[in-house]
Amino acid sequence: MEHVAALLFVVGCSSTMTDCRELEVPVSVFETAQACVAERPFALGDLQGRAPRIIGKCLAVDPALEDDYDQIAWNVRPDGTLVASLEVSGMLVASNSARPEKDYLKQQ
């Protein structure tokens, strides 16, 4: 079985960054964080035209918990910064920011 080390999470937003939604990418899980970072610009390019602004982040995945993640909490700040974290039953386990301003919970 392959272990997942990173998840590519992408959202599309209005030009004013007030209306954002999760966008699906063809490949969203990667065995290494480096593979996710390398694929990110191509994935974002493939989604051009789906929204005025497209933002993506690679989130680290703990292989010991990879089957337990059940939510992605995310927020896009007015400056266009995407803040996202993986959660297990409401417990924060990985984040790219310490304090999201507002969370949108999405089921995986």
What's the pLDDT band for 97 if we cut at 50, 70, 90? low
Residue 84 in domain: yes
What's the pLDDT band for 87 if we cut at 50, 70, 90? confident
Show the domain range for 66: 6-107
CA distance 45 to 12: 12
Residue 94 in domain: yes
Residue 64 in domain: yes
Q: What's the pLDDT score for residue 63?
A: 73
Closest CA to 57 of 78, 79, 72: 72
Residue 1 in domain: no
Total of domains in the chain: 1
Q: What is the mean pLDDT of residues 57-84?
A: 85
Residue 43 in domain: yes
What's the pLDDT band for 98 if we cut at 50, 70, 90? very low
Taking the whole predicted model, whether its pTM rises above 0.85 is answered as no
Residue 38 in domain: yes
Q: Where are the beta strands (DSSP E) in 39-90?
A: 53-60, 71-76, 82-88
For 8-42, write each residue's pLDDT tens digit: 999 999 998 889 999 999 889 899 999 999 999 99
Q: What's the pLDDT score for residue 62?
A: 79
